[in-house]
Amino acid sequence: MSSSTSPTLAVDPWRSIAALSFRTAVLNTVLLTAVPVIASVVFGVGIALLLNRYVFGRGFLRTLIISPFLVMPTAAALVWKFTILDTTFGILNFFLRPFGMGNTDWIGQHSQLTIIAFLTWMWTPFMVLLALAGLQSQGLDQLEAARVDGAGSWRIFRSLTLPQLRPYIELGVVLGSIYIVQAFDGIYIITAGGPATDTTNLPYYIYQTAFQAFDIGRASAMAVIVVIATILIATVALRLISSIFSEEGMRGR
């Protein structure tokens, strides 16, 4: 980096933050947080709507769907990497072979998609639970009344269900962002930030800087920036939780 041209050692870490790879890491972090959050909310609400209907084995399905969230991320990442996404031994390519995609190198060529899929898979259950709590706080009488008045399913979803779900979705987005922005396990194991820096997010970049390049000063400087950036998200989060809190808890279940 620029340490040879820098006049004092103390200022150096702050200056080298301008380095291109830091910007890449920031952009990657935004991408690898925003897409999984949005995707898991969409999947989560969809699955919650399906599970909120009368369906055979509903309790059992609800038990199964929370599993991706419970398994140890390290273990899940290894299983994804070697038994599912592997080019030769992965079962995904086995399923895709009839469609002529059986030799796709998912981790090497579609690394960002891989990480996004992994994070979405892991966080969808959380969104399902939140959305289910929201759906079950909905008054059945209101729904029946709307239906008697001749409102169609889409109309009911848009004007009754969605407004009802809104605070729950907001909470999901905020909490999801706070947790997913810190994603480390999956990236460490599945792609190690690569290829090149394609999946290097800030936590992984700071880890590399501190514990592989042993540049503690630079890593600390980056960490300070991360903390400042997170305060912005956290302010929104706190305000949201505070508004829910003043209503003394959303009623669900």
Partner 1 sequence: MKRQQKTLADRQAKPLTRLLLGVLTWIVVLIFFFPVLWMALTGLKTEPDADTSTPHFIFKPTFAEYESVWKGAGGLNGLPPYLEHSVIVTVVSTLCVLLLALPAAYALSIRPVPKWRDVLFFFISTKMLPVVGAIIPLYVIARDLHLLDHVLLLIILYTAINLPIAVWMLRSFLLEVPAEVIEAARVDGAGLVRQIRNVIIPIISPGLAATALICFIFAWNEFFLAVNLTTVNGATVPIYLVGFVQPEGPFLAHLSAAATIACLLVLLAGWAVQDKLVRGLSMGAVK
Q: Which of residues 53-82 bind partner 1 (CB under 8 A)?
A: 53-59, 61-76, 78-80, 82
> Quick check: 189 and 74 in contact, CB under 8 A?
yes
By CB under 8 A, name the one of 13, 181, 199, 200 that touches partner 1: 181
Output DSSP code: residue 252.
-
> What's the alpha-carbon Rg for the chain, to the nearest Å?
22
By CB under 8 A, name the one of 45, 116, 130, 169 that touches partner 1: 130
Closer residue to partner 1 in complex, CB, 7/150: 150
Give the shortest CB-210-to-partner 1 separation in angstroms.
Answer: 6
In whole angstroms, what is the distance from residue 146 CA to residue 62 CA?
28
In whole angstroms, what is the distance from residue 73 CA to residue 146 CA?
43
- Name the one range near partner 1 by CB under 8 A: 8-16, 18-26, 86-94, 105-113: 86-94
241 binds partner 1 (CB under 8 A): yes
Using CB under 8 A as the criterion, what x/- string covers residues 4-43 for binding partner 1?
----------------------------------------
Residue type, 225: I
> Quick check: 103 and 212 in contact, CB under 8 A?
no
